Structure 1
Amino acid sequence: MICSNGGARTYTERRIAPRTKGHADASSDIRHAAGESIGLSRRATLPCTRSATRNWRRDAGLALPAVIAVGAAVAALTGTWFESALTESRRTRALSDRLIAFHAADAALEACTARLLRGGAPYIDAPASRREPDAWRRASALVAAEAFSPFPAWPMAAQPPRCLIEAWRGVGPQGSRAYLVTARGVGGHASSAVWLQSQIALRDGRVVVQRWRRVAAVHR
């Protein structure tokens, strides 16, 4: 008996009756020999079949953990890639909103300063002290009567930019009037706001001193 590749190749011994006997006896012997051959073949094939089944089950049992490990690794890599892509998308969106807000505030600051030079801009009077005006720090400052929007809208911005001008007593060259111009620009979301300021001194309708700065608004 030889087993190969999970199957069975069986060599059996066949007994053939002598041809010297009668035809009936010969046929009987042939049938008897064939029966014995089939029985031997079945008994020889059965162990090979059982062995092949055990080998297949063992191979399948070894392959299953490997398949599970590969699937888990692919799932982990996919999740990591998705998180990275989502984080990068959020970062790009936030940067885009900040750029929109910055350009809106910068344009508003320039437009409000030009309106102040023409003498047509509303402003808050200077306080009695010489300290820096801080009305812009109040949360309701940009909805006050003195605040205004130089543009009716701004591309891709949730709100149009707004300005607030405050007079600043005792600052700047002699004979000049000083102002603190505050502009706020908003990006695609109202939470993405950029605040810019210009400290400006005017004399005879001309700018004699101007300083620009970017601030982080701290409302109270």
Structure 2
Amino acid sequence: MRRRSRGRQRGVVLPIVLLISAMMLATSAAWFESSLAAARGAANVREYLQAFQAANSALTLCARSVVSSAGMQTAAPPLASVEPAQWKVESAFEAGAIEPVARWPGSLRAPQCLVEAWRLATRADAQAYLLTSRGFGRTKESQVWLQMELVIEGEKIERHWRRVASRPF
């Protein structure tokens, strides 16, 4: 009788060990997939923050430049009832955009800024500008677009900041 019970115990141990091994393998595979997803997510956030900081810095530098040169402008831009939209056209943006800094560390390209002047129909004495900046991460796909409406009326300066939700081109 002793022999029978030992034989049964030996036959039960192998399936239990295989079951535990399979559970450990499945758990480690799930952890591996989870860590890969977390690493991809962290890289995407880093790319976005890189592009955002580049665009924000370009926007700030362009705004300073416009404010400092606003008093020297003699010819008023044409009266327009809508804001300028040249920033939405790739060829116009590339032709008119400036790079306020030569390089941005870790970015594919230097950030760019386009300044478009217009006159507000309701405020004839004010100078209005639409500043659009574009910052890059390590790849061309990681771009952030920011805009600022800058209105200068005498000594008063109004800044209206916004983020462009999607790339125009």
Distance 1:126 1:61, change over 3 A: farther
Q: Identify which of 100, 112, 121 aligns with 2:50.
A: 100
* Cα-Cα RMSD: 2.7
Distance 1:101 1:218, change over 3 A: closer
Whichever residue aligns with residue 82 of structure 1, its letter is F
Structure 2: distance between partners of 1:66 and 1:79: 20
The higher-RCO structure (CA 8 Å, 6+ apart) is 2
Structure 1: distance between partners of 2:100 and 2:130: 16
In the superposition, the TM-score normalised over structure 1's length comes to: 0.65
Instruction: Give the aligned length.
Output: 164
Contact 2:80 2:118 in 1 (8 A): no
1:69-218 aligned within 5 A: 69-119=19-69, 129-144=80-95, 146-170=96-120, 173-203=123-153, 208-218=157-167
How far is the alpha carbon of 1:82 from its aligned partner? 0.6
Runs of 5+ in structure 1 lacking a partner?
5-51
Q: Which residue number in structure 2 is paired with residue 21 of structure 1? A: none
The structure with the larger Rg is 1
Distance 1:210 1:171, change over 3 A: farther
* Identity score, percent: 35
Once the two structures are superposed, what CA deviation does each residue of 1:80-136 show, in whole Å capped at 9, x if it has no partner? 11111111111111111111111111110011112223439xxxx967642121121
Contact 1:126 1:133 in 2 (8 A): no
Decide which moves more: 79-88 or 133-142.
Answer: 133-142
1:55-70 aligned within 5 A: 58-70=8-20
Q: Secondary structure at the match of 1:76?
A: helix
Runs of 5+ in structure 2 lacking a partner?
71-75
Structure 2: distance between partners of 1:217 and 1:141: 18
Higher strand content, 1 or 2? 2
